[in-house]
Amino acid sequence: MKMFVYVFVPTVAFLHFANSQQPCRQFEMATDNLREVIIGQCEIYQQNINQPIFCTEGFRNCTEIWEAFSEAFKFQPRCNVDYHRLDRYFTLTDHSIPKDKSLFWENVYPFVIRYSNRGRRFYALYDTLPGYIANGPQWCSNESDTTGMSPPGTLCPGWEATPDCPQGAQRAFWIAASINYGSRASGEIFILLNATSDPIFSNNTYNAMYELPSLREIVVTKATVLLLNEHPIHGQTKCGDPTLDIISSKMKAKRIKYDCIENRRDLVETFCFDYPTADVCKILDTTSSSSFTASVLSTTLVSVFISSVIFIY
């Protein structure tokens, strides 16, 4: 009997391997071999991250998806890209998101990726095909370049608006992605927030401006805010924070039920696996630290096993 073990590591970001003579690019710089990176991430998601969905709904053509992605910003004004140009991209990449599994968030990256667990617990925007494809690469338009894109190494406008660049290619993309993601949620949605942030929630976030307004009445039945409070005070909760009224009022206008939970146990356990000495970890029962670590480690090993493909001959 021969055993071959293939362990999928879902952290592959770039398919281009620089030689020792090339300096590492800064994160804000346009990505080398953007076409290959976008197509590669498209294939990785369908083949390794979430294959069961596409086995049922059909695999997508990643070359066609690249064309729709790039055509949305090629030869466009560097700081004035219309997000509606991405409509075809989302038509090609959209797939079903299970009911009660949509996870919105602010100020908790990268923890949200661990908590959502690549769609096994929840689906954050980055856990969907259209979001996964664009998470990491950097790109921007250039009207004068023969490719319509800025060359690799060019400093690109980011996802935040600035006075001199209100809407570059990446901001246009994430606006369109946020609207699309919000419109596809169903059942109970969850909004993960950092209770130590000041303010906890704000009206000028993607969540407030694009995602929550895109929720569909009746289709979305409840919105539950999940607060992660690293420094809880016994007998008090930050669910009464006035900035959360922004969310509750938006839900009331859409006739969607609203709830708030601070430091839900599964949230705290996931957080404390990486930060076991944090104040919030003290609220976890009277279980010994060793027992707690073993319990969480067991859960993590199950996740790793699910992400592995084992062939036995």
Q: Is residue 109 part of a domain?
A: yes
HEC string for 51-70? HHHHHHHCCCCHHHHHHHHH
Mean pLDDT of the chain: 86
- Whichever domain contains 160, its CATH number is 3.40.50.720
Looking at the structure of the chain, the number of domains it has is 1
Does residue 17 form part of some domain? Answer: no
Per-residue tokens: 170: 């990446």
Express each pLDDT in 66-85 by its tens digit: 999 999 999 999 999 999 99
Indicate if the pLDDT at residue 21 is higher than 60: no
Q: Any idea which of 13-17, 47-51, 139-143, 158-162 has the lowest mean pLDDT?
A: 13-17
**Selection from 266, 251, 270 nearest residue 189 by Cα:** 251
The domain in which residue 150 lies consists of: 3-10+26-312
Evaluated on CA atoms 134, 90, 10, 36, the torsion sign reads negative
34: in domain: yes
Q: What pLDDT, on a 0 to 100 scale, did the predictor assign at position 294? A: 41
The candidate with the shortest Cα–Cα distance to 124, out of 200, 177, 201, is: 177
Reported pTM: 0.82
| CB atoms closer than 10 angstroms to residue 258 | 17
The CA distances from residue 4 to 1, 308, 311, in Å, are 10, 11, 6
Average pLDDT for residues 36-58, to the nearest whole number? 97
What percentage of the chain exceeds 90 in pLDDT? 79
Q: Residue 230 burial by CB count (10 A; 0-12/13-18/19+): exposed, middle or buried?
A: middle
What pLDDT score does 28 carry? Answer: 82
Say yes or no to pLDDT of 1 above 60. no
Classify burial at 261, counting beta carbons within 10 Å of its beta carbon; exposed 0-12, middle 13-18, buried 19 or more. Answer: middle
176, 90 Cβ separation under 8 angstroms? yes
Residue 203 DSSP label: T
Bridge partners of residue 80, in order along the sequence: 167
Confidence of residue 100 (pLDDT cuts 50, 70, 90): very high
Measured between alpha carbons, how far is residue 59 from residues 62, 72, 151, 228 in Å? 9, 22, 31, 36
Dist. CA 18–CA 146, nearest whole Å: 24
Per-residue pLDDT tens digits for 161-183: 999 999 999 999 999 999 999 99
* More confident site: 23 or 240: 240
Check whether 284 has a pLDDT greater than 90: no
Q: What is the mean pLDDT of residues 95-117?
A: 96
> In the prediction, which pLDDT does 119 show?
93
| pLDDT score at 301 | 41
- Answer whether residue 295 is part of any domain: yes
- Could you tell me if residue 296 is inside a domain? yes
Distance in angstroms (rounded) separating the CA atoms of residues 247 and 136: 29
In angstroms, what CA-CA distances link 60 with 152, 206, 249?
Answer: 27, 27, 38
20 domain-assigned? no
pLDDT at 257: 98
